[in-house]
């Protein structure tokens, strides 16, 4: 995800920056500033009387126009690029906008105008620059750039996080409770457990119980092909994993190795037992998450952040807390050590990109606004809410919430009217601790964390001897390797040479996967080996090209940032 910039971009940048030469000088008076934003967050438009957006307007003079994704993400991005009808900001989740010359380089602007942002990103600034910079074929930086700022993963002060929202085999808490909180370490144990529960309770709230579902719609289809990586004990390096072969680190894709075959053959067996929902392969996003929100999906392999907002909040609002989910770090067998939880890492090439339509002058104004938001006072407003309404100090002088205020944090309707979620999700933010030592997220304050838990959570943690779901996955995750994570290096078709070829190959193998993996899972067991062989024959020429490119990225990252950390 990076590299050689198209020549056209240099021309666009030169024209844009020249047209805005002189920039904007800081002014004591807050002038009205309307910011147009394209976001792939599929949320509702905030109402006009949203409390937090009204505060932003009153204090900073800032308002927003949100273009919220509807339909296919890549198609929408393609339309924006082709038409040139760009907003001020676009949510970045790949190199598409950058490679098409749609973004301006904000590195010099951030360094000049944003002291708070620079302080926040100081420990990872070199990684941010390395990710976005123009490089030669050997990976050496030719010209430094920054096109977006990480939305998550940069910790200020002590990391007080108790939350887990990463990859796992998630299971309804009531399933674990039903069978006395058994120890579940392997994938067979997981599916045996949900099968036993589904047989005992074939319906939930009058609808058919679904033991296991897989989201395969649109960009979330990675959940279809990612399980083998984790079941084999590798961390989330995306489409592949890294092996140490002698003195060299080698990138290997996850798609045609023995681990992939082992998982899909197991999945075929689970399907034959009626454990995998066949509609997984035809449901769209809304249909998939509606089933989750109904409380009738017992298990799924997914990243927590994908469902822990709207879908799980709807379960909570309905009072079905025991049907919310716990993460299990399972593997193929007990000889394999799981690696699901990482230490915090910067979410590179994510967040907001500033478009050429925005231009330098307005970009400076927006960056100065975002920089002001990075003070403790303003972050507490965004993350904790208004003192006296959303929280208050207890008898000991500590920030706290009432039971009613805690319930509001799980109510989608309340959140829509009272929080600036669309902005906060992608903007730079403080994580970890404020300068006064308090956790940036109120739920991570030790006393609030305890009071906000439901009886089912306390009971589950006590049964497994942990104090949080993060600890249930891994109380002491290993240090991240210097190259990690390799998914940040996925190729962009907008660049030339091997990277272009690798991006075309990646599109090609995803097409093959979407066709053949459902066939493997739902097909006759006697046809599995034949389908697998056809799949591998189509995939291996594509992954060969992809792996060559990813190896160059791995070599560069190891050289610059190192390998496995002790």
Q: Which two tokens stand for residue 450?
A: 């305890």
Q: Which two tokens stand for residue 176?
A: 């674990």
Given this model, what pLDDT does residue 27 score? Answer: 42
Given this model, what pLDDT does residue 163 score? Answer: 86
Integer angstrom CA distances of residue 360 from 24, 87, 109, 116, 374: 8, 14, 8, 19, 21
Q: Which two tokens stand for residue 511?
A: 């097409």
30 — pLDDT class (breaks 50, 70, 90): confident
Q: 198 near 284, Cβ under 8 Å? A: no
Mean pLDDT of 411-436: 96
| 429 three-state secondary structure | coil
Q: 465 near 540, Cβ under 8 Å? A: no
Which residues, listed in sequence order, are joined to residue 103 by a DSSP beta bridge? Answer: 355
Q: Which residue has the tokens 């910079």?
A: 133
pLDDT in tens, 493-535: 877 889 999 999 999 999 999 999 999 999 999 999 999 999 9
Mean pLDDT of 399-407: 96
Q: 24 pLDDT exceeds 80?
A: no
Helix (H) or strand (E) holding 204: strand 203-204
pLDDT in tens, 287-312: 999 999 999 999 999 999 999 988 99
Given this model, what pLDDT does residue 127 score? Answer: 93
Mean pLDDT of 78-87: 94
Mean pLDDT of 335-339: 97
Given this model, what pLDDT does residue 509 score? Answer: 93
Q: 10 pLDDT exceeds 80?
A: no
Q: Which two tokens stand for residue 27?
A: 């002014």
**CB burial string 24-40: b at 16+ within 10 A, e below:** beeeeeeeebebbbbbb
Beta strands (DSSP E) in 255-393 are: 297-303, 325-328, 351-354, 392-393
29 — pLDDT class (breaks 50, 70, 90): low
Q: Among 130-134, 137-141, 165-169, 323-327, name the one with the lowest average pLDDT.
A: 137-141
Q: 343 near 477, Cβ under 8 Å? A: yes
pLDDT in tens, 108-155: 999 999 999 999 999 999 999 999 998 877 778 899 999 999 999 999
Q: Is 106 exposed, middle or buried (0-12, 13-18, 19+ CB in 10 A)?
A: buried
Dist. CA 224–CA 260, nearest whole Å? 11
Written as one string, the DSSP assignment of 117-149 is: HHHHHGGGHHHHHHHHSEE-TTS-EEE----B-
> Across the chain, what does the average pLDDT equal?
92
Q: 300 near 213, Cβ under 8 Å? A: yes
Nearest to 257, CA basis, from 332, 167, 358, 348 = 332
Written as one string, the DSSP assignment of 48-81 is: TT-HHHHHHHHHH-EEEEEEE--S-HHHHHHHHH
Given this model, what pLDDT does residue 2 score? Answer: 39
Give just the sign of the alpha carbon dihedral 118, 120, 121, 122. Answer: positive
Given this model, what pLDDT does residue 99 score? Answer: 85
Q: 400 pLDDT exceeds 70?
A: yes
| 324 three-state secondary structure | coil
Q: 16 pLDDT exceeds 50?
A: no
Beta strands (DSSP E) in 290-369 are: 297-303, 325-328, 351-354
pLDDT in tens, 32-63: 999 999 999 888 999 999 999 999 999 999 99
Strand 210-213 versus strand 297-303 pairing type: parallel
Given this model, what pLDDT does residue 115 score? Answer: 98
Q: 295 near 205, Cβ under 8 Å? A: yes
Q: 11 pLDDT exceeds 60?
A: no
Q: Is 107 exposed, middle or buried (0-12, 13-18, 19+ CB in 10 A)?
A: middle
**Residues above pLDDT 70, as percent of the chain:** 95
Given this model, what pLDDT does residue 74 score? Answer: 86
HEC assignment per residue over 18-39: HHCCCCCCCCCCCCCEEEEEEE
How are the residues of the chain apportioned to helix, strand and coil, as percentages rounded to the nearest 5? 50, 15, 40
pLDDT in tens, 181-231: 999 999 999 999 999 999 999 999 999 999 999 999 988 999 999 999 999
Enter the DSSP assignment of 274. Answer: T
Nearest to 430, CA basis, from 485, 468, 382 = 382
Q: How many C-beta atoms lie closer than 10 Å to residue 48's C-beta?
A: 7
Dist. CA 491–CA 121, nearest whole Å? 25
């Amino acid at each position: 995800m990076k590299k050689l910039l198209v020549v056209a971009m240099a021309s666009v940048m030169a024209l844009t920056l020249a047209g805005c030469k002189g920039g904007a000088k800081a002014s004591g008076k807050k002038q009205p500033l309307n910011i147009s934003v394209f976001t792939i967050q599929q949320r509702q438009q905030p109402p006009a009387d949203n409390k937090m957006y009204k505060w932003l307007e009153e204090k900073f003079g800032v308002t927003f126009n949100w273009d919220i994704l509807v339909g296919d993400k890549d198609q929408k991005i393609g339309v924006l690029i082709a038409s040139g009808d760009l907003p001020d900001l676009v949510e970045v989740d790949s190199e598409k906008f950058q490679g098409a010359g749609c973004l301006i380089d904000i590195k010099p602007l951030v360094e000049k105008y944003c002291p708070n942002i620079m302080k926040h990103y100081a420990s990872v600034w070199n990684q941010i620059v390395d990710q976005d910079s123009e490089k030669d074929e050997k990976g050496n930086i030719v010209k430094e750039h920054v096109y977006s700022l990480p939305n998550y993963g940069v910790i200020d002060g002590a990391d007080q996080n108790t939350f887990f929202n990463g990859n796992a085999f998630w299971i309804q808490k009531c399933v674990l409770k039903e069978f006395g909180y058994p120890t579940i370490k392997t994938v067979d144990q997981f599916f045996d457990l949900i099968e036993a529960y589904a047989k005992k309770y074939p319906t939930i709230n009058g609808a058919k119980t679904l033991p296991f579902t897989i989201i395969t719609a649109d960009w979330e289809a990675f959940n279809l092909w990612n399980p083998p990586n984790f079941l084999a004990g590798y961390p989330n390096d995306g489409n592949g994993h890294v092996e140490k072969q002698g003195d060299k680190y080698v990138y290997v894709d996850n798609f045609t190795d023995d681990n992939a075959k082992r998982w899909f053959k197991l999945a075929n067996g689970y399907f034959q037992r009626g454990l995998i929902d066949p509609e997984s392969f035809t449901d769209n996003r809304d249909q998939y998450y509606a089933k989750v929100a109904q409380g009738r999906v017992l298990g799924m392999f997914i990243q927590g952040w994908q469902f822990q907002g709207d879908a799980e909040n709807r379960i909570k609002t309905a009072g079905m807390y025991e049907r919310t989910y716990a993460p299990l770090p399972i593997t193929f067998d007990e000889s394999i050590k799981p690696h699901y939880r990482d230490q915090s890492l910067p979410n590179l090439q994510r967040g907001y990109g500033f478009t050429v339509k925005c231009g330098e002058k307005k970009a400076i104004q927006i960056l100065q606004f975002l920089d002001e938001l990075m003070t403790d006072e303003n972050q507490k407003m965004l993350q904790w809410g208004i003192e006296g309404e959303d929280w208050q100090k207890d008898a000991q002088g500590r920030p706290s919430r009432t039971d009613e205020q805690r319930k509001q944090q799980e109510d989608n309707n309340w959140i829509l009217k009272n929080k600036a979620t669309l902005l906060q999700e992608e903007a730079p933010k403080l994580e970890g601790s404020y300068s006064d030592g308090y956790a940036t997220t109120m739920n991570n304050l030790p006393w609030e964390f305890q009071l906000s838990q439901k009886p089912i959570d306390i009971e589950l943690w006590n049964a497994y001897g942990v104090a949080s779901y993060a600890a249930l996955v891994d109380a002491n995750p290993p240090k991240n390797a210097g190259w990690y994570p390799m998914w940040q290096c996925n190729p962009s078709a907008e660049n030339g040479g091997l990277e272009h070829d690798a991006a075309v190959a990646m599109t090609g193998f995803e097409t093959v996967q979407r066709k053949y993996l459902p066939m493997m899972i739902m097909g006759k067991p006697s046809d599995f080996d034949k389908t697998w062989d056809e799949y591998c024959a189509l995939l291996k020429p594509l992954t060969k090209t992809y792996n060559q490119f990813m190896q160059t990225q791995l070599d560069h990252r190891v050289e610059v940032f190192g390998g496995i950390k002790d």
